[in-house]
Amino acid sequence: MNGLLSLWPRGWTREQRSSATIVAAGALLVAILILAGRLLALLPEPIGPSAAELAAGTLITVELTVLSGLAGVGVGVLAAVAKMSPLRIVRWPADFYIWSVRGTPLLVQVLFVYFALPEIVPVQLSDFNSAAVALTLNVGAYNAEAIRAGIQAVPRGQTEASRSLGLSPIQTFLDVIFPQAFKISLPPLVNNIVALLKDSSLAYVIGVAELSNIGNRVKTATFQPVPVFLTTAAIYLILTTVLTEISGAIEARLDVEQRH
Amino acid sequence: MSTAPAHARSPLITAELVNKHFGPAHVLRDVTTSFFQGEVAVIIGASGSGKSTFLRTLNRLEKHDSGRIVVDGIALTDDVKNLDAIRREVGMVFQQFNLFPHLSALENVTLAPRRVRKTPRAEARQKALELLARVGLADHAHKHPHQLSGGQQQRVAIARSLAMQPKVMLFDEPTSALDPEMINEVLDVMKDLARSGMTMVVVTHEMRFAREVGDRILFFDHGQLLQEAPPAQFFDAQQNDRIRAFLGQISH
């Protein structure tokens, strides 16, 4: 869905329209975060009096998503490359990581990082950091599969041309294969990040004061679940919509061949 | 195209008893030949005769199973250092062009010199613009491959290879994927290159080009190098029935 893309003047090029969309949607996201408190305060009971808390929860949710989302792309690239390695010693840990993360519930992973990990390694992360680590590892495993598919979709002739020119395998990957693969992987990566935004609600179980947690606290204090959870859901919906707009525009920006 | 007889000079590439299998198929059988400095060698044969596979073994896009290939004094083995060194000296032009679609024509040409030869950006750019002008594409430097016709893309691909200043250029059916009206623009660039003294090994179905530009014709049949001969002898005084039948089929 590229709603914003069609808003711009007809004379603009696809690049201009997509750049404008990225800037506008990005600004919109920042505006939402800054103004959420004041906008929510305009609403009647039970939302108005709890506006500040809901706005703070929204900010935590966005922080979790952006942090884990960015780190998750990095983890995904590393895991994808490792999984495609000819060396078993590199491939096997990547296989295990992707297999175990995709095969277990995120809820268990969040609980594991917060409660079990400190028993194994002598590091106690805060609730927020634990959630960020769990979400990063989770989205990273799904990203790995998306990126691997993208790498495999780049025609073999690209590698042959690059290697024939004398570029090393690493240069071939960085300059030739990855930029094309990333573009192919972008739609599934975006899906993963939108899913991540919603999945960040699971940080609730270890006490992170993100949006769902705050919603539940407000419900407990006001005994009005219907308006509270409708508002919570509406905030998620606005965030996922803006995120989809931004990624749709990035996709259009990278689409040099103008296939769309 | 060359003036001195080819055998008077030292070979740039030597292949000795090269064999290659794809599964049960024996696609190269004891191929032995040499390519000399400044020579234009044209490889022809039916599809599936092993001619493209042989060309691709010369810069190890395909590994040979047995035999020996020496390029510019370096034997082709699994040694990665050797391989990179050889590939820098051997240019390759593909049937499907294989331009990098995310880069402009100019960036396609500058990438390898900048990364591999560490040529400074401005110098690489200057050289690339000269090469694009040489293949008649000075005005298209900033276009992406998808904005260029097939013939233009192939000319960019030739410029891209030349940018590494290779000692030899391999052409793998460079005009086979082109619409008929674009074939000549690519052949003209190749003729120009041959006149400049570039060592070339060309797999092609363009018999006029082979006759006009080639110093030597190599005919592949079922994985064997059946015959090598100068073009006049090959086309006009052909004794081999198998080759005569092949030439009869395509020359009309």
Name the token pair of B169: 């250029």
Q: What is the average pLDDT across A219-223? A: 90
Our count of domains for chain A comes to 1
**A100 in a domain, yes or no?**
yes
Residues of A in contact with B111 (CB under 8 A): 165, 167, 175-176
The verdict on residue B138 lying in a domain is no
Residue among B112, B125, B118, B104 at smallest CA distance from B160: B112
- Choice between B144 and A257, residue whose per-residue pLDDT is larger: B144
Q: Is residue A165 part of a domain?
A: no
Cβ pair B189, B206 in contact under 8 A: no
Cβ proximity of A4 and A25 under 8 Å: yes
Do the chains contact at B111 and A165, CB–CB below 8 Å? yes
Of B61, B96, B111, the CB nearest to A164: B61
Using CB atoms, pick whichever of B87, B100, B101 lies closest to residue A164.
B87
In a domain, A138, yes or no: yes
Residue of A183, A182, A134, A177 lying closest to A156 (CA atoms): A177
DSSP-derived letter for residue B102 is T
d(CA A154, CA A213): 43
Distance separating alpha carbons of residues B33 and A244, to the nearest angstrom: 60
Domain range for A135: 13-144+189-254
**Is residue B93 situated within a structural domain?**
yes
Q: How confident is the model at residue A3 (pLDDT cuts 50, 70, 90)?
A: low
Closest Cβ–Cβ partner in B84, B98, B111 for A168: B84
Asked if residue A136 is part of any domain, the answer here is yes
What CA–CA distance (Å, rounded) separates B216 from B213? 9
Give B-chain residues touching A166 at CB under 8 angstroms.
84, 87-88, 112, 116, 164
- Rounded average pLDDT over A201-226: 92
Q: Which comes out higher in pLDDT, residue A216 or A25?
A: A216
Three-state SS sequence of B232-243? HHHHHCCCCHHH
Mutation site, B86, B94, B102, interface A, largest A CB count within 10 A: B102
State pLDDT tens for residues A134-190: 999 999 999 999 999 999 999 999 999 999 999 999 999 999 999 999 989 988 998
Nearest chain B residue to A179, by CA: B102
Q: How many domains does chain B have?
A: 1
Q: A181: distance to nearest CA of chain B, Å?
A: 11
Count the alpha carbons within 13 Å of B236 in the hemisphere toward its beta carbon: 7
State the pLDDT at residue A254: 75
CA A90/CA B245 separation, integer angstroms: 54
pLDDT at A89 over 50: yes
Q: Give me the pLDDT at residue A1, please.
A: 45
Q: In this structure, is residue B153 part of a structural domain?
A: no
B4: pLDDT strictly greater than 70: no
pLDDT of residue A256: 62
A249/A254 Cα distance (integer angstroms): 9
What pLDDT, on the 0 to 100 scale, is given for residue A252?
A: 80
Q: Are B159 and B131 in contact (CB under 8 A)?
A: yes
CATH of the domain at B52: 3.40.50.300
Mean pLDDT across A206-215: 92
Tell me: pLDDT of B80 over 70. Answer: yes
CATH classification at residue A38: 1.10.3720.10
The confidence score (pLDDT) of residue B198 equals: 95
SS3 A243: helix
Whether the per-residue pLDDT at A260 is higher than 50: the answer is no
Asked whether residue A172 is domain-assigned, the answer is: no
Taking the alpha carbons of A121, A125, A131, A133 in that order, is the dihedral positive or negative?
negative
Name the pLDDT band for A33 (thresholds 50, 70, 90). confident
Choose the closest CB to A166 out of B84, B94, B100: B84
The reply to whether B37 falls in a domain is yes
Is the model's pLDDT at A4 over the cut of 80? no
What percent of chain B is predicted at pLDDT more than 90? Answer: 82
Q: Is the CB of residue A163 less than 8 Å away from at least one CB of chain B?
A: yes
Which residue's entry shows tokens 């694009």?
Answer: B132
Instruction: Test A165 with B99 for CB contact under 8 angstroms.
Output: no
Q: Which residues of A touch B162 (CB under 8 A)?
A: none
| pLDDT over 60 (residue B139) | yes
Q: What is the ipTM of this complex?
A: 0.90
Give yes or no for a contact between A46 and A218, defined as CB atoms under 8 angstroms apart: yes
B244 vs A250, which has greater pLDDT?
B244
pLDDT band of residue B2 (cuts 50, 70, 90) is very low
pLDDT tens digit sequence for A35-77: 888 888 888 888 888 888 999 999 999 999 999 999 999 999 9
Torsion of CA A56, A62, A67, A73, to 10 degrees: 170
Model confidence at A14: pLDDT above 80:
no
A157 touches chain B (CB under 8 A): yes
Chain B interface, mutation test: which of A164, A184, A254, A260, most B Cβ atoms within 10 Å? A164
Q: Tell me which amino acid residue A97 is.
A: Y
Task: For residue A63, tell me if it sits in a domain.
Answer: yes
Residue of A nearest to B161 (CA): A165
Q: What is the span of the domain harbouring residue B64? A: 6-98+169-250
Instruction: Tell me the angle at which helices B121-134 and B105-115 cross, rounded to the nearest 10 degrees.
Output: 130
Whole-angstrom Cα distance, residue B143 to residue B137? Answer: 10
For residue A79, what pLDDT is reported? 96
Determine contact, residues B18/B32, Cβ cutoff 8 Å. yes
Query: Is B56 domain-assigned?
Result: yes
